[in-house]
Amino acid sequence: MIKKYRVIGVFLLLFFFTMNGVAGFNNSPGQLKEIYDINHKKRKLVISDKTYLMPISLTVYKLDRGAKKPRKVNRYALKKGQKVYINTSIRNSRPYVNEILIMAK
């Protein structure tokens, strides 16, 4: 009887962590999006009419024209009207942006 509950418990834990990882993390590059508004004091970023929070561990990369790989920059390089690719996650029912790739004009 105890083994049966252990197996069910392990199955439920694996199912929960698998679904949490799938639903909470978007790893696909997606479409090129535009930054509509940015507030560095409140750490809020509005991209395509959706507000994201910027964590302290946010990594921002910029891909210049003719460059083979993007270079790492700080979050203050983000400006209104830039085209970006984002990598998002949902933590505590809030959307966070983990990585941003800024495309050169």
Please say if the pLDDT value at position 26 is more than 70.
no
* Per-residue pLDDT, 4: 62
- Which among 36, 40, 31, 70 has a CA at the least distance from the CA of 58? 40
Q: What is the pTM of this model?
A: 0.68
Q: Which two tokens stand for residue 32?
A: 């090129």
Domain for residue 23, yes or no?
A: no
Mean pLDDT of 2-15: 57
The answer to whether residues 36 and 46 touch, using CB atoms and an 8 Å cutoff, is yes
Domain for residue 5, yes or no?
A: no
Please say if the pLDDT value at position 61 is more than 60.
yes
Per-residue confidence band for 54, with pLDDT thresholds at 50, 70 and 90: very high
Q: What CATH number is attached to the domain comprising 72?
A: 2.40.50.140
**Domain count of the chain?**
1
Domain limits for position 43: 29-103
The answer to whether residues 47 and 87 touch, using CB atoms and an 8 Å cutoff, is no
Q: Give per-residue pLDDT as tens, 77-100.
A: 999 999 999 988 899 999 999 999
* Per-residue pLDDT, 19: 46
DSSP 27-93: -S----EEEEEEETTTTEEEETTEEEE--TT-EEEEE-TT-SS-EEE-GGG--TT-EEEEEEEEETT
